[in-house]
Amino acid sequence: MTWLSDTRKVYDALAVGYADETRDLLDRLPHVRAGVVLFADLVRAIGGGPVADVGCGPGHTTALLRELGADAFGIDLSPAMIEIARREHPGARFEVGSMTDLDLADGSVAGVLAWWSLIYIPDDAVPGVLGQFYRVLRPGGVLAAGFHVGDESKIETSGEGDRPVQAYVHYRKPSHVADRLREAGFTMEAQHLLNPDGPKPGAILFARRPVS
């Protein structure tokens, strides 16, 4: 799957700059931060338990979840990102891994956070990824997914010098993502639109693995 290696290369190449750029991102985006807070509250309401931040990058969101009382750990495809996350947030657990094949036991987590990480997953791979989220969540567990809103896929080029890196970024309508979640077995609970009148709209969907 070349898209996996392309995504890894992008974030390995950009890890240091990306970590610096996003260090205070949640403070600058209060509506996005509110989504993280709500997610932590929903996990707390079901008695808590381990929370997987899938596509955690440099670990800033994982760290916020832990400040909010969640037993959060991070997983990311990029070894360079995980190295930074471990260095900057030494009290948390971070592992290299892919959301296409999570190294987690069935029903082992109370929550899964996919914070703008599904944007690199092509349409034909989304059902498998959502199936992984469903598998690792315990019954009643919570999923929160944030993503760019749109209806196109485009190549984004990053990096400087003579070795730029590229990866496809997929923009999706909330209704499309919600339909894929339902097909994976989830029950939809809420949809938050972000900056709907702006140039870069986003959305956060909250879903749950049914208890029965």
Task: Kindly report, residue by residue over 145-192, the tens digit of the pLDDT.
Answer: 999 999 998 877 655 544 556 778 899 999 999 999 999 999 999 999
Retrieve residue 162's tokens.
């003579």
- Determine the number of helices (DSSP H) and then strands (DSSP E) in the chain: 7, 9
DSSP strands (E only) in 78-181 = 94-96, 109-115, 137-148, 153-158, 165-170
Tell me the mean pLDDT in the region 15-32.
85
pTM of this prediction exceeds 0.85: yes
- What DSSP letter does each residue of 27-75 carry, written as one string? HH-HHHHHHHHHHHHHHHHTT--EEEEET-TTSHHHHHHHHTT-EEEEE
